[in-house]
Structure 1
């Protein structure tokens, strides 16, 4: 049985894009403004083979509602174009990917996290 056959899940990956402001805002010149970070409307990578395993889940009471913090350990093939702060959509839920770790050139492991108000 090959490793790729173990990657039974599929997800879409959106890369983080940076745009720079074209005009001054609030009296700050445009070159001095922080870049505007967004994700595209369409995924940069579709149907990427992966495998998600739940790592941690907690619910925290905040004012005025509860927030769920959920983290998964996601596995990807070594040649997958996965980057820091990418957005992965798996089973209709969006996760922000942390720094990918290349495991001996064999595969990538990435912590995928989400926080959502309940």
Structure 2
């Protein structure tokens, strides 16, 4: 099985942007955001994410954390804190440090966090 056959998913990658922001009273600050349009789109990839995650009780709700790995072709422009969207499911993940595997492919640890609120 070739590596190209493993890449059975598609994703879009959004690079985090730093914007200058006026906080008022002459104080300048920084804000971080993602663009509306992806910086890299329709990238062949493979999400290796399990359905199970960890739950943590926070003050207002339960928070889940799902961790997985993403395989990408070598040369893909992916960076720390990039938002990566699985185009098949629409689920958003956030990238940790990308690892170049012998100039053959890239593996990125990804995670997804969210709140789980119960119905009342």
| Backbone CA RMSD of aligned residues | 1.6
Q: How many residues align?
A: 113
1:71 is aligned to 67
- CA deviation string 1:4-48 (max 9, x = no partner): 121101111111111112x4x354543xx3x21110011111111
1:36 is aligned to 31
Instruction: Trace 1:74-113 onto structure 2 (pairs within 5 A).
Output: 74-90=70-86, 91-113=89-111
Displacement over 6 Å in runs of 4+: none
1:116 is aligned to 114
In the alignment, structure 2 segments of 5+ residues that lack a partner are none
| 1:19 corresponds to 2:19 | yes
Distance in 2 separating the partners of 1:27 and 1:48:
44
Q: TM-score normalized by structure 2?
A: 0.85
Q: Which structure has greater strand proportion?
A: 2
In the alignment, structure 1 segments of 5+ residues that lack a partner are none
